Amino acid sequence: MNAPLFNPSRRDVLAGALVVSFSLRAIPSLAQEQENVSKPPLPGSLKKAPMLDAWIRIDADGSVTVFTGKCEIGQGVKTALIQVAAEELELDPHAIHLVTADTARAANEGFTSGSNSMKDSASAIRNAAAQVREILIGIAAERLGVAADRLRAQSGAIIGPDNRRAAYGDLVAGNVLHVTAQPTSKLKAPDTLKIIGQSLPRIDIPGKVTGGVSYVHDLRLPGMVHARVVRPPSYDARLQSIDTSDAEKMPGVIKVVRDGSFLGILAEREFQAVTAMHALAAAAKWDIATKLPDETNISSIIESLPAEDHVIADKHAESASATRTLQAVYRRPYQMHASIGPSCAVASFDGDALTVWSHAQGMFPLRQAIAEMLRLPEEKVRCIHMEGAGCYGHNGADDAAADAALLASALPGRPVRVQWMREQEHQWEPYGPAMVSRTRASLDAGGNIVDWWYEVRSNTHSTRPPGAGQLIAARHLETPFTPGPPRPGDQPEGAGDRNAVPLYVLSNVRVVHHFVPDMPLRVSALRGLGAYHNIFAIESFMDELAAAAGADAIEFRLRHLKDKRARAVITAAAERFGWSSWQAAKGKGRGFAFACYKNLAAFCAVAVEVNIEHESGHVRLGRAIAAVDSGQAVNPDGIANQIQGGIVQSASWTLYESVHFEPRRILSQDWSTYPILRFGTVPESVDVYVIDAPGEPFLGTGEAAQGPTAAAIANAVANATGVRIRDLPLNSARVKAAIGV
């Protein structure tokens, strides 16, 4: 969406139309440019795509289309984006058609990640919608000869005091929406909101529960063929030789594609492709070179690798003298996204241009990577987002899209659908990195923290495109692409150091991020990045300090916390849980934890109850209660759904999950070798209280529960057993060993 900022013909239209109402213009005169220096920045992603019609299009028939560069990844964002647009445009939400990430149609909003979609895209759309409404009012004022302040927008029309009306579709001739957004908008006042704040049912669910075409997996194009890839047995294995003749003769097989160690097969029907893939895999001879580290010793290995040190907090002040110092080490293993549906993509190459349908999180970066891999100009590649199974970060989606692109370019004229097998998804997706934290803090005689020292060691948390070398297939080509150098991420959002700086008020604090560039296993962004581990560590340690101080876990937190919204979610969760009246019993424990995600997004507090099965060491989850403040709540049930899901998913990571590997291969290849939580082990109940903050900015929610849940469970296990476990996961074997059964 690189439309010119200045268009004389449109300026002419506007100059006439808008004089009545207000000065929304696209005329960057010298004076205005100077003025722009002191102007506030445009809201959200309007900064990246400032033209209003990059976000909202109104056709002559009155139909309204809203464009977002973000993707629906199961978080319900489509519904929330429609709500904010409908609110400011005074439309029925069902009257709005939403277009999501598509390199040919939507603004480049980068990745749908970091719980940023509401902050970036909903802020842009809400402001754009309000500005569009005011433009339409301005034009109608002129047309109806009525002052703008006597007009109102309602149900797709501008209505005057005498009930004369001008339909939106009749007001938009001449590209009047092709103007630059202004930094401030006439947003509706919080007490007048009718759609924002309502739990509008999600627009995608009816199709999903009745068999609609909901996912890229369901896309069927005319003439489409099915493909499978054969991956090496380990990361760097090279294809030495293969006789493809038997596979090529199998029923339905169209062709085998080989380029270096990239191997794929195309067939008319899907199961034919699967069958031929197995034959091809059996015929392939690999040179297995990979030497993976020793899983049982992984945290020492991570600690022994070279690191770049980044001091991200270093503050020292006068304080009371320390009477007691505690220290601890917390560890997290590699953990998987483990999407329920293996990655899938469809690609179609017409001999000149390529179209890719993918469930990856960034269509523009994906386009760049695929164009580089295929040596095509970027404008010859279009990437269109379609939903996949929940990804929770960077899984195999981009790689499957690359596979489809390569295979489609080998079969021009026929769309190619590739889906990974379960074993491929488990083995090849980039995991959430193993991490280690060392922490030390001192208490004064009154039980207050006087100093806090925290060091976290981690790989990168993003190996995403746009570089072609980030794609598995591109690395396996005869002329391979190499991945770019890993990056540590930047504060304040951070990556391995996300949430490594506590929100607590501490007079002496030093936090260091030891960024480890070498990656023994393929890693990238998993929901929450380092926040999951850092909050687990910090909030576990807060409980350890509270216990040392002889203080209640919640009182101890509040004692060190000024932020009102943080205090409010803690108090709400504690009250709803019944913290102060809770009764202890043998084998039963309660735990609490809190974080403000990234120290700038949603505030979330979690309280849980556990029961320890003494014989097995299994941690059984009882009640879980959360309170969350996501700013102005657009769809409270959507927020609750994300937090509930985050609690259950984080409980699974925290109690059960760890990627297993041996020197030559990843051993976690399916659900039996990488077990996750099932219905038999879900909590008794999960209740979420959404605290609305009218008029406040939208705060990201999707990742807010991951860290607090981990620490709340760990604290509850410590409370139930009297033993502190600092290594994740808190599986039965570990708990059993800790309690000495």
Partner 1 sequence: MITLNVNGRSRDVDDAPNTPLLYVLRGTLELNGAKFGCGLGQCGACTVVIDGKPVFSCLTPISILQGRKITTLEGLGSEDAPSPLQRAFIEEQAAQCGYCIPGMIMRAHALLTANQSPTDAEIREHMNANLCRCGTHMRILAAINRAAGGMHAAGARAPAKAEEEE
Binding site for partner 1 (CB under 8 A): 73-76, 199, 201-202, 204-215, 217-218, 220, 226, 251, 269-272, 274, 338-342, 387-390, 392, 419, 421-422, 637, 641-642, 644-652, 670-672, 676-680, 682-683, 685-686
Please state the φ and ψ torsions of residue 631, each to the nearest 5 degrees. Answer: 75, -150
**In terms of CB distance, is 74 or 530 closer to partner 1?**
74
CB 654 within 8 A of CB 432: no
**In terms of CB distance, is 212 or 484 closer to partner 1?**
212
Cα separation, 53 vs 30, whole angstroms: 24
Of the candidates 215, 216, 205, 218, which has an alpha carbon nearest to the alpha carbon of residue 78? 205
Question: What does the block give as tokens for 472?
Answer: 């598995």
Of the candidates 605, 603, 604, which has an alpha carbon nearest to the alpha carbon of residue 696? 603
CB of 653 to partner 1, least distance (A): 10
Cα separation, 335 vs 333, whole angstroms: 6
- Residues contacting 8, CB < 8 A, separation 6+: none
CB of 272 to partner 1, least distance (A): 8
CB 388 within 8 A of CB 397: yes
**In terms of CB distance, is 31 or 209 closer to partner 1?**
209
Of the candidates 613, 630, 638, which has an alpha carbon nearest to the alpha carbon of residue 693? 630
**In terms of CB distance, is 531 or 549 closer to partner 1?**
531
CB 357 within 8 A of CB 219: yes
CB of 320 to partner 1, least distance (A): 43
DSSP 567: H
Instruction: Provide the b/e sequence for 58-90 (b: ≥16 CB within 10 Å).
Output: beeebebbbbbbbbbbbbbbbbbbbbbbbbbbb
- Residues contacting 289, CB < 8 A, separation 6+: 234, 236, 237, 238
CB of 504 to partner 1, least distance (A): 28
CB of 618 to partner 1, least distance (A): 15
CB of 199 to partner 1, least distance (A): 8
Omega prior to 492 cis, within 30 of 0: yes
Of the candidates 175, 172, 179, which has an alpha carbon nearest to the alpha carbon of residue 50? 179
**In terms of CB distance, is 115 or 368 closer to partner 1?**
115
CB 209 within 8 A of CB 646: no
CB 265 within 8 A of CB 320: no
Question: What does the block give as tokens for 44?
Answer: 């959200």
Instruction: Give CA separation, 560 vs 325, 395, 517, 542, 576, in Å.
Output: 17, 38, 35, 10, 22
Own/partner pairs, 210-214, CB within 8 angstroms, 24+ separation: 214/387
Cα separation, 51 vs 3, whole angstroms: 7
Cα separation, 649 vs 87, whole angstroms: 32
CB of 392 to partner 1, least distance (A): 7
CB of 480 to partner 1, least distance (A): 29
CB of 342 to partner 1, least distance (A): 7
CB of 282 to partner 1, least distance (A): 17
**In terms of CB distance, is 4 or 207 closer to partner 1?**
207
CB of 516 to partner 1, least distance (A): 28
CB of 703 to partner 1, least distance (A): 13
CB of 222 to partner 1, least distance (A): 12
**In terms of CB distance, is 507 or 681 closer to partner 1?**
681
Output the DSSP codes for 521-566.
S-B--BTTTTHHHHHHHHHHHHHHHHHHHT--HHHHHHHT---HHH
**In terms of CB distance, is 74 or 486 closer to partner 1?**
74
Of the candidates 35, 25, 51, which has an alpha carbon nearest to the alpha carbon of residue 108? 51
**In terms of CB distance, is 241 or 679 closer to partner 1?**
679
CB of 76 to partner 1, least distance (A): 7
DSSP strand pairing (449-458 vs 435-443)? antiparallel
Cα separation, 59 vs 173, whole angstroms: 9
**In terms of CB distance, is 419 or 437 closer to partner 1?**
419
Amino acid symbol at 27: I
**In terms of CB distance, is 313 or 648 closer to partner 1?**
648
**In terms of CB distance, is 189 or 209 closer to partner 1?**
209
**In terms of CB distance, is 137 or 605 closer to partner 1?**
605
**In terms of CB distance, is 338 or 569 closer to partner 1?**
338
Cα separation, 123 vs 68, whole angstroms: 11
**In terms of CB distance, is 305 or 648 closer to partner 1?**
648
CB 490 within 8 A of CB 547: no
SS3 447: coil
**In terms of CB distance, is 393 or 488 closer to partner 1?**
393
**In terms of CB distance, is 388 or 486 closer to partner 1?**
388
SS3 412: coil
CB of 335 to partner 1, least distance (A): 12
CB of 736 to partner 1, least distance (A): 22
CB of 636 to partner 1, least distance (A): 11
Cα separation, 665 vs 427, whole angstroms: 8
To which H or E segment does residue 299 belong? Answer: helix 298-304
